Structure 1
Amino acid sequence: MDSKRLLMMLHEEIQASQGERRHIILFQSDRDYRQVTELIRLHKDTHSSLSSVYDLRLIRGISCPIRNRAELIKHPAVLSIEEDTSINIQLRPRKTVKTSEIVEKTSEGSQFIPWGIQQIKAPDVWKNAKGSRITIGVIDTGIDYYHPDLQASVARGINLLNRSQPPYDDNGHGTHIAGTIAAAGRLGITGVAPKAVIHPVKAFDMNGSAFVSDIVAGIDWCVRSGLDIINMSFGMKTYSRALEEAVINAYQSGTIVVASSGNDGKGAAIDYPARFPSVFSVGATTKVNKVAPFSNRGKRIDIYAPGESIYSCWLHGKYNELSGTSMATAHVSGVIALMLSVRPSLRPQQIKQILRRSATPLTKAKQPEGTEAPGLIHARRAITALLKTNKT
């Protein structure tokens, strides 16, 4: 491979881009990737344009602004080039909840358990499983480190938008997701897995927007950090080869990826990355055990979880009530943490099978024998199944 020629092509394209959209370039092999990125590293000082190249090691790729991909794609070392498209958190209209409204629901020395966590029977298993030592990367808008319900649940993270800064949340969505998964306040709310450890990965800005390259970098950080679960409460409509490569690599490393199906109320299509087979795809349900009207649904869904009017943590020590498949996804990540704390050796496919078999049916109609239609996640049944097999 003439890597020097490719380097000069990249340099010229970046210089000529003049603010054009960034693209993700995947290389044919590890060798091609290593040669190009090493040259980029060596020549950054002499070619200032190369400082805009973003290394995506997990998928053997880079992200950079280019003017025209027609010539670059012809180079034998280049596998594919795609636009580095934007991706958004999935959010329904919100209702701010005052801290006092939560505190009023608690008795002295007790905690408030939101309805969704009660519905999936998570409190029933806390004597046997609370998610201890299970690590969860929440790729989102960051986290409120100072929220009293999260201080015991948060470990180191990363800010992909500004690597010199901690992953502080300037939106609220990431804090809300983290609260549902693992809140553990003395008087506030309790999450599904209150002993699990959240690692916040800030890939989304204050408006809830990110680029695919930021998500890939976030997945890469989670995999290299050896995290058990990655929560991805966001989605996009268009296919991305780079994003698929990232989740496949995470899956092959044993990391469990959980993603929201989307809030379009569609019956046949769900968002990416939830649509990828190696990801746990999550739909949302209402308080009356029905699929939420806003939730995407259908055979592509692996499991449903509560997603309507979900109370959880918010910025500045407050609370908020949100609806969406994002909230449902957080419940599922929490239950998987409970399962892994009982049996850490579980593989993604095993977990998926147990969750589907132990789920509560969402309709009264009987399913044909041998089928496993997705139902509502049920923590007690899932953990009970694991405890029984542990004894045998």
Structure 2
Amino acid sequence: MDTATFLQLLHEEIGLTKQSGKKHIIHFQSTKDYFACRAELRRMKSSLTHLSQVRDLSIIHGFSCTLRPDTRLKETIGAHVIEEDTKVSVHQVVGKKIGIRRGNSFVGPQMIPWGVEQIGAPEVWNKSVGRSVRIGVIDTGIDYNHQDLRNSIARGVNLLNRSMMPYDDNGHGTHIAGTIAAASSSTGILGVAPSALIHPVKAFDYNGSAYVSDIIAGIDWCVQNDLDVINMSFGMKTYSRSLEHAVMNAYYKGKVIVASSGNDGKRKTVDYPARFPQVVSVGATTRLGKIAPFSNRGKQIDIYAPGERIYSSWLHGKYNELSGTSMATAHVSGVIALMLSMKPNLGPLQIKGILRRCASSLSKRESTRWRPGQLNARRALGALKT
């Protein structure tokens, strides 16, 4: 089937899609087929109006759109694979708006949350503060007006509405951004890498929910804009070929991808995308340096980091205490920013190796086999000298 005929059929299928429609991702048999179809799509959009609903996912050489579950497109030769576009949720356990909690330390009027302190970030700020490292936070957006984030925010994108700024209407993204790079100049908090730049990529709605296609579009944006690190504090149980393809392509472009393992307390499995080998998979620890009861764990974890009752920035200039592997992931992204600021040419595999090798042990038992430990900023930066 030629591309024009395929797009004509796609236009008709989208037109027939009613309330029963579901989002799907379309893969092509070859790169050549994709580029031919993309060129034809741009030409035909003006005459076939339903085609304007098709989203181009260039990083996986595919499209996404809403189709009927029994779409006839699955019978065509032009499309290699049609995969249902599944839902993804942010990894968050609990939260409540609070004032400053005990257990956090201070540097003058500025507060250092306990997790930032525990991983040893303040000990290395004389060597690196993450200057000029660019981190894409694929999440719910960011509070642009928060006093602790104003100097840390760079250009972002709202994938749910391209005409709008990526303002946070949930709070999760703002909380993650604060742990990574809050840079209070007065009485607020300091993140792990206070001079790093956060590029907010709003892919999640106010409920903290997104589709895989939104995530892929976010990864694509991060790669197109040559960001250094991609923070993904979310996950899902089911495998997605499309998401794996996007992660692999970003990895081979040299992007360091960090993802949360999930909050189900499972002992032998983690969520996607953390389960992909190209990703730094993160579990959560408590203030006592133990694996958090809610954290997924096991051999698929690369590193653990603080994730219990983490104090960070929140909407409307406020602060919030949240728990989850999401919060742990933010600490890891911050340390990677510290590393890249010192040694910009580090690759994703090198960074993962250093983090794993330099982790603090979580077990008192002697063991000959490797076990994932807790994030240690001092050791990780010390390893860069050698």
When the two structures are superposed, what TM-score results if normalisation uses the length of structure 2? 0.96
- Corresponding residue for residue 268 of structure 1: 268
Residues 14-54 of structure 1: per-residue CA shift (max 9 Å, x gap): 11211301100011222111111222221112111111111
Alignment check: 8 A CA contact 1:102 1:112 kept: no
- Corresponding residue for residue 386 of structure 1: 384
Residues 240-288 of structure 1: per-residue CA shift (max 9 Å, x gap): 1111111001000000110000000000111100011111110000011
Alignment check: 8 A CA contact 1:24 1:84 kept: yes
- Corresponding residue for residue 155 of structure 2: 156
SS at match of 1:65: strand
Aligned equivalents of 2:260 and 2:266: distance in 1?
Answer: 13
SS at match of 2:142: coil
**Aligned pair in 2 of structure 1 residues 151, 161: CA closer, same or farther (>3 Å)?**
same
Aligned equivalents of 1:328 and 1:59: distance in 2?
Answer: 28
Query: Among the aligned pairs, what percent are the same residue?
Result: 61
SS at match of 1:194: coil
Aligned equivalents of 2:281 and 2:16: distance in 1?
Answer: 40
Residues 179-214 of structure 1: per-residue CA shift (max 9 Å, x gap): 000000022110000010000000001111111111
Aligned residue identity for 2:371: A
Aligned equivalents of 2:71 and 2:303: distance in 1?
Answer: 42
Aligned equivalents of 2:198 and 2:309: distance in 1?
Answer: 23
Aligned residue identity for 2:309: S
- The within-5 A match list for 1:185-204 is 185-186=184-185, 187-204=187-204
Q: What is the CA RMSD across the aligned residues, in angstroms?
A: 1.6
Aligned equivalents of 1:239 and 1:309: distance in 2?
Answer: 30
Alignment check: 8 A CA contact 2:22 2:69 kept: no
Aligned equivalents of 1:106 and 1:164: distance in 2?
Answer: 41
Aligned residue identity for 2:84: E
Aligned residue identity for 2:381: I
- Corresponding residue for residue 62 of structure 1: 63
SS at match of 2:13: helix
Alignment check: 8 A CA contact 2:105 2:113 kept: no
- Corresponding residue for residue 222 of structure 1: 222
Aligned equivalents of 1:107 and 1:125: distance in 2?
Answer: 16
- Corresponding residue for residue 85 of structure 1: 86
- The within-5 A match list for 1:33-52 is 33-52=34-53
- Corresponding residue for residue 332 of structure 1: 332
Aligned equivalents of 1:56 and 1:104: distance in 2?
Answer: 45
SS at match of 2:135: strand
- The within-5 A match list for 1:248-267 is 248-267=248-267
- Corresponding residue for residue 365 of structure 2: 365
Alignment check: 8 A CA contact 1:111 1:190 kept: yes
Segments of 5+ residues of structure 1 without an aligned counterpart are none
SS at match of 1:144: coil
SS at match of 1:63: strand
**Aligned pair in 2 of structure 1 residues 116, 108: CA closer, same or farther (>3 Å)?**
closer
- Cα deviation for residue 76 of structure 1 reads 3.4
Aligned equivalents of 1:9 and 1:330: distance in 2?
Answer: 44
Matched, 1:143 2:142: yes
- Cα deviation for residue 77 of structure 1 reads 3.4
- Cα deviation for residue 70 of structure 1 reads 6.0
- Cα deviation for residue 108 of structure 1 reads 8.6
SS at match of 1:112: strand
Matched, 1:116 2:145: no
Aligned equivalents of 2:331 and 2:78: distance in 1?
Answer: 42
Matched, 1:206 2:199: no
Aligned equivalents of 2:309 and 2:41: distance in 1?
Answer: 49
